[in-house]
Each structure stands twice: as C-alpha cells, then as structure tokens.
C-alpha cells in the first residue's frame, strides 16, 4: 500500500523516483499503532527537507498523511515516508520546491535479527547527516561485502576512523562495559538517539580507529528495523554474539514507550 499526499499514488507520480531518484526518507517500525521515536522521525523529515529542497515541510500535515496510511493496520509493520517532488526535472533540480509525501507500509521482521558479520571499506557517504534516497554507493559496497563472504559493510574514514554500517549505526562496548559511539560523519539514527537517552549503561561518543577494534569487547548495529543487533565479526575480529551490555541496551530500548499516531 502506498499513498502520496494522502491519496493512492499513480505510476506516473512514481516515475521521478525511478528516473531521477532525488529526495529523502525515514523508516519506522509501527507496533499496535505506536511508533517509538516518532517525534525524532518527524524532526528528521523536516530537517532533511530544508537541506534537500530548501523548503519547510509541514510537520503536522505529514503526520496526518502517516496516520491516514496506517489507519486500520494492527500488529507490527514497517512504515517508510519518502519526500520527493514528482515534477522534478533532471536538468533543473533547483526548481524542485514542491516536495510531496509518499507513505508506504510493508511487513516487519522479528527484532533483533541474528548477529551479522561485516567487512570494512574506506568510504564516506555523501551528505552523511541526511537520510537521502541516493543508496547506490552503499548498496554497491554492501554487495562487495557479501561477495567476500560477509553480511554487510562498515565504513571507515581515510584517517582510519570507523563511522557506520551500510544502513545502520555502529556501536562498540569497551572492556569496561562502556558503550562507544564512533565520532565520525554518520547519520544521526533515531534508534541511536533513543539509546543514547538511556540512563544506563554508560555511553560516550569518541573516535574509534580501525586499529582499536580488536580491543573492543563487543560490537552492535542499530536502526529502527533491527533494534540492537549483535555484530559477531568485523573483518577478522570476532565478537561474542551475546554480551550483557547489549542485552541491557535491548531491554532499555524495549522499555521506551512508542508515540501514538
């Protein structure tokens, strides 16, 4: 199911997404009509719209579109909101100043999924702070990682700082049980921000060099779709699939109430 500005979307309206692929989005997990971090998702859409289109997105109207699309949906579902201008012209993207709101629902998997393995690549996402729809580079590198026998990719800055995963934030646990979020160009993920609001365990943001990874006690991936997912290997460094700090993060995250649409 997909709606554009509260109405069923047409193939013609979707053409610009396929042919020009310019816009931004956010993905949410809806559980019985509530969304954990809904306000953060709306903040992201408004903030990114200023960057991508140079205009102010109507926050309340956007929430109304989301509520309408989700009406009658029960249980757990994935919900994606994409903001794009159907009238965009590839030769004149500066003229795209009328962003529309596309809302679509899809099945949501169990959370958390099994542990993943990751391979490091030197790479920085374009406009790392924006959740834009230009995913070619990320998916190409994810494909390269999978062809090398791993599940996904982890990005590393040219100076050796670890940043983030293919479409997720990356966190570590040091030998003292402190959660370390890499200080590098990353997307400010809503799940990461919610986890950082927890009173425990202790958390810091600090540079993590690729050379520091073998000294870490655990690693994890996080986004709205996967919650807190163990990383069992990064390159040739192995981590335990279960760690008490990761379980504390999962319990804390599960205890954060969702916002009703």
Domain residues of the chain, as ranges? 2-106, 116-260
The pTM for the full model equals 0.94
112 upstream amide cis, omega within 30 of 0: yes
Structure confidence at residue 109 (pLDDT): 81
Q: What's the CATH fold of domain 2-106?
A: D-amino Acid Aminotransferase; Chain A, domain 1 (3.30.470)
Asked if 224 and 1 count as a contact pair (C-beta separation under 8 A), the reply is no
Calculate the CA dihedral of residues 215, 245, 260, 80 and round it to 10 degrees.
30
Counting as low any pLDDT under 70, the low residues of the chain are: none
Share of the chain above pLDDT 70, in %: 100
Q: What is the DSSP string of 132-200?
A: BS--HHHHHHHHHHHHTT-SEEEEE-TTSBEEEESSSEEEEE-TTS-EEEE-SS----HHHHHHHTSSS
Of the candidates 228, 208, 230, 227, the one whose C-alpha atom is nearest the C-alpha of residue 218 is 230
Please check whether the two domains, 2-106 and 116-260, share a CATH topology: no
CATH tag for 116-260 (out of 3.20.10.10, 3.90.950.20, 3.40.50.300, 3.40.50.1370): 3.20.10.10
Structure confidence at residue 1 (pLDDT): 81
Structure confidence at residue 18 (pLDDT): 87
């Amino acid at each position: 199911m997909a709606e554009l500005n509260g109405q069923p979307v047409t193939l013609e309206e979707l053409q610009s997404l396929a042919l020009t692929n310019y816009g931004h989005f956010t993905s949410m997990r809806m559980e019985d009509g509530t969304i954990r971090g809904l306000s953060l998702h709306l903040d992201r859409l408004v903030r990114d719209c200023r960057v991508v289109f140079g205009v102010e997105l109507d926050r309340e109207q956007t929430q109304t579109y989301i509520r309408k699309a989700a009406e009658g949906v029960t249980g757990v579902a994935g919900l994606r909101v994409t903001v794009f201008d159907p009238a965009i012209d590839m030769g004149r993207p500066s003229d795209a100043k009328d962003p529309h709101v596309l809302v679509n629902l899809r099945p949501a998997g169990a959370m958390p999924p099994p542990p993943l393995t990751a391979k490091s690549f030197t790479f920085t996402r374009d406009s790392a702070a924006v959740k834009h729809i230009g995913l070619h580079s990320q998916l190409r590198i994810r494909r390269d990682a999978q062809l090398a026998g791993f599940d996904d990719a982890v990005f590393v800055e040219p100076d050796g700082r670890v940043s983030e995963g293919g479409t997720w934030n990356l966190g570590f646990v040091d030998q003292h049980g402190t959660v370390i979020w890499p200080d590098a160009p990353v997307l400010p993920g809503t799940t990461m921000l919610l986890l950082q609001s927890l009173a425990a365990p202790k958390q810091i943001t600090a540079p993590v060099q690729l050379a520091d990874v073998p000294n870490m006690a655990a690693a994890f991936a996080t986004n709205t779709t996967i919650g807190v997912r163990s990383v069992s290997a990064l390159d040739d460094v192995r981590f335990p699939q279960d760690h008490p700090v990761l379980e504390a993060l999962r319990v804390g995250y599960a205890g954060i109430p969702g916002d009703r649409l």
